[in-house]
Structure 1
Amino acid sequence: MEDLLRPLYQERTSQQNTLGVLAIQKNEQNRAFTENFDSILLIIVKEAEEAVFIKHYGDWNEETASMYIITEAQLKEWLLLGTNRKVIEWLYHGRILFDRNEYVQELKTEMRDFPFYGRKIKMTIEFAKLIKRYTDGKAFFNDAHFLDAYNHVLHSLHHLARLSVIENGLYPELTVWNQVRHIEPGIYKLYEELLTSDENLQKRLELLFLASEFLIHSRTERGADHLLTLMKEKEWWSISELLNHEEVRHYAVDLVTLIEYLIDRQLVRVVSVQTKGQGIFHRYYHVTKD
């Protein structure tokens, strides 16, 4: 396979735009890891017309390779948001073929050490997704839409699992439930019960809502810390100011639900300001605790 890959990346190593090249070999136990290709060639560049460019190759020995050319900006966004975990796994496990000024090695070290700021914002991203899924799941459950509730609860547990992994200073892997089973068996048990319990679906959901309430509530201040810390920069905020903040935009899609949850938890309070209309007020938001 090295004979197939070398011509694909050698010319690029002389280009200043190329930051690093990694090779990822297929895993016989999990061929989906490399999308059923024998090898993945991951090339990181400073900039390109397309944030992600993919090409597929094969040779006379019927070996196959998929080449990914990814911009630095796109990769860093995925690292922050966790929205393309497969590529993140390739970066983490890949063999370095070329590394300009140890760029790739530093990325790998950062993933392993997981700097505090990275953990803080990722925790709030996961917590916001968790609250959105949990809140919607509960609403579906109360309306007796149990299959829809099940779907949302399953996703909420996944976000809870990822939150737990991040909280423990680790990077969530594709096999996040294997990580959680060792880190926090209680969350793994909830997941297992939801999937395998002999109780009917309504009862399973009912028990899960009761059991997960504490696990979620106990993480509220840590999970929302990025937003709460940011909100202390001003006396109060409009929802528009928050939605358009450079850092909040990473979880803006779930922000309204998160804010309402924090109001219920008395960590944020509503400030009403009179408008020109009689009896109509602007709603602003203020952090209640130091």
Structure 2
Amino acid sequence: MENLLRPIYQEKASQKNTLGVLLVEKIHENSPVTDNFDVILLIIAREAKDEWYVKHYEFEGRTAAMHIVDERLLNEWIDTSGYRKVIDWLTNGSVIFDRNEYVANLKDQLRIFPESTRQLRKVIEFAKLVRAYRECRELYEAKHYLDANSLMVRSLHYLARVAVLERGFHPEITLWNQVRKIDPEVYKLYEELMESDEEPDKRIQLMLLASDFAIHSRAEQGAEHLLSIMREKDEPWTFGELKIHPEIHHYNLDLSILLEYLVEREIVDTVLVETKGEKIYHRKYQVAE
């Protein structure tokens, strides 16, 4: 396979801004990791013309997809899980070109999984978890049980990713196979939802109770990235100040619902500041002591 694709990747490897080339082959007949292509060529470039350029090939009855990804975008995907497959490509792909051991160092970084990156990933997934759970509860209370069931499945996926990150691992494409090995309690919740013989309303009611406890017990750890930023200054923060903070922009769309949840759990306090309007106050936030 590599020999057949050599003319394609050699041309890219000869360019000075190419940092590395990896090859990922399809293992199973149906492969979500490779989008069912027989092979993926991942080419990492510095200051690429396009942030993400993709080209498809066919040869001898086989298919290939070439992804040329700018280094900055790749790092953003790694930090935020913006494109989940790329972690698998980097971890399991064969290195066929490596300029100055760039790819080798990147693989080491993935294995080490720095605490700062893990905290960011956790708060992104935790904020999505809180939103999905809240939306599920609203749909349940409105008696839209089938829609609530869909949101419950989604919230359990976010919970599973948080659980994997807590153990210091990157969530994989085959997430539940991974969770079954490292967090049986979270896996059991998913199994009960999928296999329960209860009526939809009873099933979701039980899942909401169990999920509420699972989320509550992880709240401080899941939101630690945000809480550590809020502790950087003694004065309380306005929502606007937090929203534009450069380290929060990856999850600012879920920031409002996350803050509200932390306030409800008394992990974050609100501080009311008078305005010119009578009995109208600006709301600010600080970590509870």
Check whether the contact 1:150–1:205 (CA below 8 A) recurs between aligned residues.
yes
Check whether the contact 1:27–1:33 (CA below 8 A) recurs between aligned residues.
no
Aligned to 1:242: 242
- Return the alpha-carbon distance in structure 2 between the equivalents of residues 287 and 232 of structure 1: 7
Aligned to 1:36: 36
Q: Structure 1 residues 113 and 46, CA, compared in 2 at 3 Å: closer, same or farther?
A: same
Judge which range, 102-111 or 22-31, deviates more: 22-31
The one-letter code sitting in structure 1 at the alignment partner of 2:244 is N
Please give the TM-score of this superposition, normalised by the length of structure 2: 0.96
- Return the alpha-carbon distance in structure 2 between the equivalents of residues 32 and 178 of structure 1: 14
RMSD: 1.2
Q: CA deviation at 1:95?
A: 0.1
- Return the alpha-carbon distance in structure 1 between the equivalents of residues 4 and 34 of structure 2: 16
Please give the TM-score of this superposition, normalised by the length of structure 1: 0.96
Residues 64-96 of structure 1 deviation map (CA, whole Å, 9 limit, x = unaligned): 211110001111111111121122211111000
Are residues 1:107 and 2:102 paired?
no
Aligned to 1:287: 287
Residues 98-133 of structure 1 deviation map (CA, whole Å, 9 limit, x = unaligned): 111111111111112211111111111111111111
Residues 157-179 of structure 1 deviation map (CA, whole Å, 9 limit, x = unaligned): 10110001000011111111111
Q: CA deviation at 1:2?
A: 2.2
Which runs of structure 2 are paired with 1:130-209 in the superposition (5 Å)?
130-209=129-208
Aligned to 1:9: 9
Check whether the contact 1:27–1:34 (CA below 8 A) recurs between aligned residues.
no
Runs of 4+ residues over 6 Å off in structure 1: none
Aligned to 1:86: 85
- Return the alpha-carbon distance in structure 2 between the equivalents of residues 260 and 206 of structure 1: 22
Residues 159-213 of structure 1 deviation map (CA, whole Å, 9 limit, x = unaligned): 1100010000111111111111111111111101111111011111011111222
Judge which range, 4-13 or 238-247, deviates more: 4-13
The one-letter code sitting in structure 2 at the alignment partner of 1:103 is Y
Long gaps (5+) in structure 2: none
- Return the alpha-carbon distance in structure 1 between the equivalents of residues 109 and 175 of structure 2: 19
- Return the alpha-carbon distance in structure 2 between the equivalents of residues 80 and 140 of structure 1: 32
The secondary structure found in structure 1 opposite 2:237 is coil
Aligned to 1:118: 117
Taking only the aligned residue pairs, the percentage that are identical comes to: 51
Q: Structure 1 residues 233 and 31, CA, compared in 2 at 3 Å: closer, same or farther?
A: closer
Q: How many residues align?
A: 288
Check whether the contact 1:237–1:286 (CA below 8 A) recurs between aligned residues.
yes
- Return the alpha-carbon distance in structure 1 between the equivalents of residues 208 and 63 of structure 2: 47
Which runs of structure 2 are paired with 1:250-265 in the superposition (5 Å)?
250-265=250-265
- Return the alpha-carbon distance in structure 1 between the equivalents of residues 124 and 280 of structure 2: 33
Q: CA deviation at 1:29?
A: 4.3
- Return the alpha-carbon distance in structure 1 between the equivalents of residues 86 and 113 of structure 2: 17
- Return the alpha-carbon distance in structure 1 between the equivalents of residues 29 and 255 of structure 2: 40
